[in-house]
Structure 1
Amino acid sequence: MSGAPSCRRGTARRAAALAAACAAVGLAACGGGGGGDPAPAPPAAAAACDLASQKAWLRDDMAQRYLWNTLSPSPDPAPYGSLPSYFGALLFTGGGGIPADRWSYLSDSAAYDQFFAEGRTLGYGVAVNGAEGRPPLRVRYVEARSPAGVAGLRRGERIVSVNGRSGDELLRLGDFAALSPAREGDSVTLELEPEAGGTRRTVVLRAATFDLTPVPVVGTLPGPGGRPVGYLLMKDFITQAEEPLRTGLAQLRAAGATELVLDLRYNGGGRVSTANVLGSLIVGAERNGQVFTELRYNARLAAQNTRFTFEASTPGFQRVVVLTGPRTCSASELVVNGLAPYLPVATIGGATCGKPYGFNPTPNCGTTVSAVNFESVNAAGVGRYHDGLPATCSVDDTATGSFGQPDEALTAGALGWLATGRCSAAAAAPRDKAAAAVAATALRRGVVDGPGERPPGMWADRPAPR
């Protein structure tokens, strides 16, 4: 631990860097935000970065801005030997129909800013079906610009071994640490087998910091009567997604698509402002000025309650089908819930993760505190979906098949629903409910089996004027 004077200088440098990032992307937690700031000013940065000072700062911050500030414990910080242990002791333990806080978390500020301000992350770029715990271990997602993407890894490939350990063993133990490097240059060796079987290959990946691809797939599908149906896969609600969203949805409308399949199955959330951009493009200009979502803070800060409203200049879509599962969380759920009062919205896949809460993150001494600051409700006042938003049609995501292709399981289920308004025979088939429950529980406990993934969340920024 560095001494207090050095720590104060480091905090000042980090604060300046964060202020610059916030100026660029409009983070309300930094005091920006078109016409009104939903984030009350946090306590001043800790005078020093020793543990006692950090715990004192954290206690003050939680007492002011935590959503459940009057209901949560407030123990003496002295006995706690680390900031994470004290943070855990301050969290709401549940009551009044609300479960214990499983959403708040701490993160390294540099990594946090890199992901959400720069749209970049450190990793190999390969995600697996690890949370499900159901063999075989497969590649479920590959970041296009990552080492895995460059090496040609494909969704659906079976991972026979990781650094010589069998994929089945890793699934059984829930141990995917080898896929999360600590630094650039770390390596992992994967033995892979094609989805349909065949010749195995060995690939060595070296960790690197790469640009995220938040909107990796946009295209059309054959819909009812031969009409085109739009398809868009969205992975991250970051500002770098906004221009691809505008361009991609414009292309789909130009192709004649009036119905949209929106794939959010692996989207853990992000910025409320980016979710608002997506929602606005979907409902179109005729809904301008109507409420997308309202963020509600604790009673002490009720004056900070904020409404995000739709703003678009183009036509919208008539029907939307959203592909969902236990990794669909927070800002992704916000989109589904926010569209529901205005459009027929069906969900295909599995129930979402159940996180109607969000943050105004606060950095201090190199740690960014994401403690729940608000809950979200839609224009009809609907929120608190703690058990997740249920699927209209339940379909297993087998981590096979290409995204946006008619024969991929969830996509096929979406096309069947658009054609008939009912769940198709394949979609209606019994799901592995035990596996789905295991996946949801594992994800809630923080199992990380993907590239650069963060705990699920949504962050308030750039609110509309009230």
Structure 2
Amino acid sequence: MNNTLRSVPAWWGMVLLSATLLAGCRKETDLVEPTTTTSSENQTINKWILENMREYYYWNDKIPASPDLTIAPSDFFDSILYAYDATARPDGDRFSWIEENADDLSASLSGESTTTGMEFMLYLRSQGSTNVIAQVLYVLPNSPAAAAGFKRGDIISKVNGQTITTSNYVSLLYSGGTTFSFGLAELQNSTLVDTDLTRAVTATVFQANPVFMDSVYTVGGKTVGYLVYNQFVPAPNNSNGSEYDDQVDAIFSNFKAKGVNELVLDLRYNPGGYTSSSANLASLIGKNVDRTKIYFREEWNSTLTPYLQQEYGDEFFIQRFVTKSQNIGSNLQRVFVLTTDGTASSSELIINGLRPYMTVTTIGTTTYGKNVGSITIVDDSGNIKWGMQPIVFKSFNSLGQSDYSTGFTPAVEVQEPLNLQPLGDVSEPLLNEALYQITGSRIARRGVAEPNRLPALGSSIQRRAGGGRMIKSLPTFKPSTL
């Protein structure tokens, strides 16, 4: 059996974060009926899992000596993890995961999935209630949800005629169904009221473009560039190109041509992605950065480190900036980053990696907190269809800092309201605050924002298979040679 890492172009090294809908580490595969397998098949798959985990896993010295090889592969994988526990293992693993279909895993990591094309946040309808609402955070252009008329801020209270509750929201929203009839609610005098409006949407296989929008504002003598970027993905699934990175480059070329001297980077819904795309974006922003400067370093386990040093040298563990002609750092003294608890992994890497080179001011709420990364491991022989994403390294910026496992606390805290304004609208609270920090005055009155005091249950972004994992590809080599 040829057990190797999936070989992809070097620039597709990526950092992706695994977030959860609720506290704990529930994976998307938990919602799929398991395929029936025999004990012998389980043992074959589990031996493959164990062999690779003992070589690559960041906590490989914590793997049990004699795990039960007869149980289902997903359960076996969980059983050998150095699982996070707030008391017993505060340094433990919150992010490793496995999926039954390696091809689906690869597609999801490039932003392709079966989706309606809208992302939403889940809240209890009121304090103490068991009823749930889903508020639309954004809608992808040209997606089924966009065609159905959905927009940011819409509130969904029913799915297929059923009121959403704490006991049925998983089955209604995440069970793999593709046909939905969404019933809407609205705010009336600070009260959520169900309406008769419904919208039918059929999920399809859809490639999401992570570059959501960009604008340039001229305010208070400043020229402000604004970019909403929702996942670090260099190109569409099955592409060997760099289409999305090129699109970001073109935006910064325009920023440079227009004399942008302040930058607002909106990563509030960006759960992570490829480290190469993170490095590309950072290289367009950083002050006095080029290919000689370190963006971040990696720490691997003690088993792999000597081998990797011997085979590839110390540069294997270093991600440097890229020299970019579109870089606007010479015009910047600082960068403002808009954040929520959905800001994670490669997004946090931007914050941590740029801080040694310029002032990074965060506005919003505390980020997720993920400073570790993973690799995609598949069986190239095709005998085993599973794919796994174990944590294999921890990241540090050029000053050796990696102290954000509980997230970055915002310099300026701003909560998103219940009545959401469009992204890019200067009255939208987070962008409005950034522009205030830049100019010292409110360029537009904030819209009347209904405070959002509803308990949050999580978001569709956190459930998304490609969202928020810190992943890097390794050169292909056989574990047996270690």
- Do residues 236 (structure 1) and 227 (structure 2) align? no
Write the distance in 1 (CA, Å) between the matches of 2:230 and 2:96: 21
State how 1:92-111 maps to structure 2 within 5 Å: 92-93=82-83, 98-107=90-99, 108-111=101-104
- The residue aligned with 1:179 is 173
In the alignment, residue 347 of structure 1 is paired with which amino acid?
T
**Counterparts in 2 of 1:325 and 1:68: CA distance versus 1, 3 Å:** same
**Counterparts in 2 of 1:116 and 1:291: CA distance versus 1, 3 Å:** same
Q: Give, in angstroms, the shift of residue 202 of structure 1.
A: 1.8
- What's the secondary structure of 2:391's corresponding residue? coil
Write the distance in 2 (CA, Å) between the matches of 1:28 and 1:416: 34
Write the distance in 2 (CA, Å) between the matches of 1:421 and 1:263: 20
State how 1:102-181 maps to structure 2 within 5 Å: 102-107=94-99, 108-117=101-110, 119-130=111-122, 137-166=134-163, 169-170=164-165, 172-173=166-167, 175-180=169-174
Larger strand share, 1 or 2: 2
Q: Give, in angstroms, the shift of residue 260 of structure 1.
A: 0.9
- The residue aligned with 2:50 is 59
Write the distance in 2 (CA, Å) between the matches of 1:326 and 1:132: 17
- The residue aligned with 1:35 is none
- Do residues 362 (structure 1) and 365 (structure 2) align? no
Write the distance in 2 (CA, Å) between the matches of 1:289 and 1:246: 20
- The residue aligned with 1:334 is 349
State how 1:207-356 maps to structure 2 within 5 Å: 207-223=203-219, 225-240=220-235, 241-283=244-286, 286-303=289-306, 304=308, 305-311=316-322, 312-317=324-329, 318=332, 319-356=334-371
- The residue aligned with 2:429 is 409
Contact 1:125/1:450 (8 A) holds in 2: no
**Counterparts in 2 of 1:109 and 1:328: CA distance versus 1, 3 Å:** same
- The residue aligned with 2:202 is 206
Q: Give, in angstroms, the shift of residue 280 of structure 1.
A: 0.3
Query: TM-score with structure 1 length normalisation?
Result: 0.78
Q: Give, in angstroms, the shift of residue 325 of structure 1.
A: 1.0
- The residue aligned with 2:68 is 77
- The residue aligned with 2:400 is 381
Contact 1:297/1:375 (8 A) holds in 2: yes
Contact 2:462/2:468 (8 A) holds in 1: no
- What's the secondary structure of 1:396's corresponding residue? coil
Q: Give, in angstroms, the shift of residue 182 of structure 1.
A: 2.6
Q: Give, in angstroms, the shift of residue 77 of structure 1.
A: 2.1
Aligned residue pair count: 413
- What's the secondary structure of 2:437's corresponding residue? helix
**Counterparts in 2 of 1:411 and 1:70: CA distance versus 1, 3 Å:** same
- What's the secondary structure of 2:470's corresponding residue? strand
Contact 1:296/1:306 (8 A) holds in 2: yes
Contact 1:273/1:462 (8 A) holds in 2: no
Q: Give, in angstroms, the shift of residue 54 of structure 1.
A: 1.0
Contact 1:291/1:307 (8 A) holds in 2: yes
Query: TM-score with structure 2 length normalisation?
Result: 0.76
> Which one has more relative contact order, counting CA pairs under 8 Å at least 6 apart?
2
Write the distance in 2 (CA, Å) between the matches of 1:334 and 1:63: 27
Q: Which runs of 5+ in 1 are unaligned?
A: 1-7, 30-47
Write the distance in 2 (CA, Å) between the matches of 1:453 and 1:148: 19
Identity %: 26
**Counterparts in 2 of 1:410 and 1:113: CA distance versus 1, 3 Å:** same
Contact 1:156/1:195 (8 A) holds in 2: no
In the alignment, residue 422 of structure 2 is paired with which amino acid?
S
**Counterparts in 2 of 1:93 and 1:190: CA distance versus 1, 3 Å:** closer
In the alignment, residue 430 of structure 2 is paired with which amino acid?
L
Q: Give, in angstroms, the shift of residue 58 of structure 1.
A: 1.1
RMSD of aligned residue pairs (Cα, Å): 3.6
Q: Which runs of 5+ in 2 are unaligned?
A: 16-38, 127-131, 236-243, 309-315, 476-482
The one of 432, 446, 468 aligned to 1:456 = 468
Contact 1:265/1:324 (8 A) holds in 2: yes
Write the distance in 2 (CA, Å) between the matches of 1:344 and 1:70: 38
- Do residues 419 (structure 1) and 439 (structure 2) align? yes
Write the distance in 2 (CA, Å) between the matches of 1:132 and 1:221: 36
- The residue aligned with 1:87 is 77
Residue deviations 1:150-192 (CA, integer Å, cap 9, x gap): 22210011223221123xx43x447244334636xx3000123
